[in-house]
Amino acid sequence: MASKVIHAFYDDDDVLMHAVKKVKAAKHHIEEIYCPFPVHGLDKAMGLAPTRLAITSFLYGCVGLVIAIAMMNYIMIEDWPQDIGGKPSFSFIENMPAFIPIMFELTVFFAAHLMVITFFLRSRLWPFKEAENPDVRTTDDHFLMEIEIHGNEQDLMDLLLDTGAVEINITEK
């Protein structure tokens, strides 16, 4: 069964922030907000949980560091030790200063690349996926607030008009 949603359009991000606060204060659930650019503080105003992407980035960096250490130890110390410039490769600790740039680069490489993959998977942005944007104006200059209707259509429309919505549409989701 398809549900009805109200699409309220706004033309200013400050008006949108004020509207989100009023709608949340009236105990309505906002399904989604589509914006042409990131709006600072919108996630907190909507009551969204903080993201854990920074934690995963740290963990991916740790994985990169461990792989760099294991790779350099195996290649330069165990498998094929070389006498470079009169400095023999007898232990990892003796050669650590020369390995620091490689450890740094692989830490950054793993964190960056795995974060991109995680972001795309978490956002469900598969290759060749069609856009879920309900109105093309939200990629240019309008903000859209999507609220599901639960028998409170007129009250919700009055509230949204009060908050400064420039256009209100009712559509099937």
Residue with tokens 């309505």: 28
| Domain map (residue ranges) of the chain | 4-50+145-172, 53-122
Beta-carbon neighbour count of residue 144 at 10 Å? 22
CB count in 10 Å sphere of residue 68: 20
Cβ atoms within 10 Å of 24's Cβ, excluding its own: 14
| pLDDT tens across the length of the chain (173 residues) | 468 899 999 999 999 999 999 999 998 999 999 999 999 999 999 988 888 889 999 999 999 999 999 999 998 888 887 777 776 677 788 888 888 999 999 999 999 999 999 999 988 888 888 888 888 889 899 999 999 988 888 889 999 999 999 999 998 87
Burial of 12: CB neighbours in 10 Å, binned 0-12, 13-18, 19+: middle
Q: What is the dihedral of CA 155, 156, 161, 163, to 10 degrees?
A: 110
Q: Where are the alpha helices (DSSP H) in 26-142?
A: 42-46, 53-72, 96-122
